[in-house]
Amino acid sequence: MEIRDSVVLVTGGASGLGEATVRQLVASGARAVVVDQNAERGEALAAELGGAAVFVRADVTDEAQVRAAVESATSMGPLRVAVSCAGVGWAARTVDKEGKPHDLALFQKVIAVNLVGTFNVLRLAAAAMSAAPARDDGERGVVINTASVAAYDGQIGQVAYAASKGGVVAMTLPAARDLSKAGIRVCTIAPGTFDTPMLAMLPEAARAALAAGIPFPGRLGDPAEYARLVHHIVENRYLNGEVIRLDGALRMPPK
């Protein structure tokens, strides 16, 4: 898919991996819809990027709000790229040291945002893409989801997060197969430990310990590296139905 002059929608687009993706795609000539719940950051990013971006406040689990975001994108032209970066994560054991079971509402919240929200964006964006005219090669669009290495080697306390990201991994291939006749590709990126605002809140010693566990390069991932992989997936027409780990060869230990 040619990025220049394409309309792209990025959830979680006001910070971290999503913000880096918006910046990467706009720099490559796309027009972007920044979708996030943080209106202050989202509006500031859209203002900085000028006419190349607009901000839409939306909760990815809300059908009406995501539909409105997609409609905002299609008002700018055919929607060609959708990237889901919105996500949440909390640490809790299945049964804690005092014998208390994992909070069910917390588990449901993580699943709702990370898995159901990702699917909500996938289905609504794909529906809009399927109605758009095909490019010369029959391609109509690309959907890129965000999982995590926790889908494969979740740590102690990550049962909800790992389950949600494992679901994103598992739906990648069937979604790609479902949408093949419409000329829509689906891929997923499974990042390792990235230097995002969430990790920025950790003490420097904790950040250094995380970086030390990464084989090479021995540092936290740069969100720009995630964004460059998004760029490559969009432009590489033979990438479809695949989950790509982006983690510096990291395999997470139990804790």
Nearest to 192 by CA among 133, 238, 252, 138: 252
Place of tokens 């706009």: 26
199: three-class secondary structure by DSSP: helix
CA distance 66 to 47: 21
Relative orientation angle of helices 159-178 and 117-130, to the nearest 10 degrees: 20
DSSP state of 216: S
Answer left, alpha or beta for residue 222, where phi above 0 means left and psi between -120 and 50 means alpha. beta
Known active-site residue 161 = yes
CA distance 203 to 167: 31
Catalytic residue among 152, 161, 226, 238: 161
Enzyme catalytic residues: 161
